[in-house]
Structure 1
């Protein structure tokens, strides 16, 4: 029987659901402060002060609007009747709460120009999202709503943070005095992008929300190419991008024809 119909609610479920909704609103506020420069410097300004060969074009960060909107829908849905007691929310809820706190913390810390601490925080965020996505993968979606309002948002978020963590590492290196451009930076940037693409392609082949995850990774890699870095970095980003797209296509084609969309999202 579907767990959508068998979900007795405990007090702890309501606490967790409320915490996720509050955390989601908190990160929206933090995002507004960090993006506008109302708290410290804007995230964009700090990033531009520590440019690297793997920096995405600034317009790419508009994806945060989509991510925040999707996460808000997720948070609102999971407090509705019939949702808080579901096993999938019990398995992932507190991990997602942690992700909201870490994301808000990263924005404020980065805006305060504590770049090294910000990198520690975003690595923790990536780990938390990886656990949440793994737990979602263990709980197949129960219908279109789960695919669009649970698996999809978490996978989209995790994909973007996967690349943002790599970009952040390069930014941190520049902040600490490493060259942001030149021969060594170019070689390291290209190698890191190739590894990132290989890992992301592997994730796409086995995770829930494969298409949203792949889409956000491709968006990030494409934004690096558009920024026109040195040729080796462009080539590495394109190779990584193609690997992720190929993995997504294989994932869809491997499923029965009638269930291909479900397989890619659920």
Structure 2
């Protein structure tokens, strides 16, 4: 057996590629904040050019990327184990994660260069592989080891939930930058509808998958939206109310588990 065949069978090449993709995404994201391609980083664009987008969360919310990257690094090390490299589920998940990482790098450049509609396409290219990875991991469908839960399932739950929120925000930013008039509805009305739809999606995932991590990320995001948009009563009340509703679902789920 040749060395290349052995590496292929052991999944070593894919494991290395996954680690490299995670590392590249982390490095490029960090560099884009220090040396943004378009002169302003993502946060600066959000706070200047897009500051009037009504669904933007408070700045502190983006600190969740630290947790996301910790989770991705943990997964990268987990999938490097021989037992995981030979697991067909982990192999599929790693391939999808590589695609998501590549799309995220593209998103960083497109957004900082103010190509907002192209950045929406890149965001969807992050979201769809993450949905696929989440489904392969079967969160909430069967019991798994503690390692699989904490090093694979939870990192992807957190990452997917944040990208789901970010997709909604990204679309709102693209519409705002295009001068969209809302087809007769006000920006506040559209924002309220988007918040409700996002919360329904989160609620379904929490209820059907019993995924606490997913729900907690939405609560984090919605509280941050309520705080930033505190001057607009319809928005902060909707965001806060939806966050409380998800808290309620999590409490009901916890109660049911202890019965």
Category of TM-score, reference length = shorter chain: 0.7 to 0.9
The TM-score normalised by the length of structure 1 is 0.85
Report what 2:237 is aligned to.
Answer: 235
* Cα distance in 1, alignment partners of residues 222 and 192 from structure 2: 12
Contact 1:9 1:84 in 2 (8 A): no
Gaps of 5+ in 1: 1-7, 258-266
2:33 is matched with 35
The question of whether the paired residues in 2 share the 8 Å contact of 1:163 and 1:220 is answered with: yes
Q: Residue 198 of structure 1 contacts residue 243 of structure 1 at CA under 8 Å; is this kept in 2?
A: no
The CA distance in 1 between the partners of 2:212 and 2:44, in whole Å, is 31
| 1:192 alignment counterpart | 194
- Aligned-partner SS, 2:66: helix
Shift of 1:252: 2.9
How far residue 250 of structure 1 moved from its aligned partner, in angstroms, is 2.8
Contact 1:134 1:207 in 2 (8 A): no
Equivalent residue, structure 2, for 1:5: none
Partner of 2:45: 46
SS in 2 for 1:39: coil
CA distance in 2, matches of 1:140, 1:20: 25
**How far apart are residue 116 of structure 1 and its match?**
0.9
CA distance in 1: counterparts of 2:105 and 2:143, whole angstroms? 28
Q: Deviations over 1:127-170 (max 9, x none)?
A: 22111111111674532111111101000011111111111111
The match for 1:3 is none
User: For residue 20 of structure 1, what is the aligned residue in structure 2?
Assistant: 18
TM-score after normalising by structure 2:
0.88
1:113 aligns with: 114
Bigger shift: residues 148-157 or 105-114: 105-114
How far apart are 1:86 and its partner, in Å? 1.4
Where does residue 128 of structure 1 map in the other structure? Answer: 129
CA distance in 2, matches of 1:57, 1:229: 13
Q: 2:167 matched to which residue of 1?
A: 165
**Distance 1:245-1:149 versus aligned 2 partners, 3 A rule:** same
1:9 deviation in Å?
A: 8.1
- What residue is the counterpart of 2:67 in the other structure? 66
CA distance 1:171–1:55, shift in 2 (3 Å): same
- Distance (Å, rounded) in 1 between the aligned partners of 2:214 and 2:7: 31
Q: Distance in 2 between matches of 1:87 and 1:245?
A: 35
Aligned residue for 2:76?
A: 75
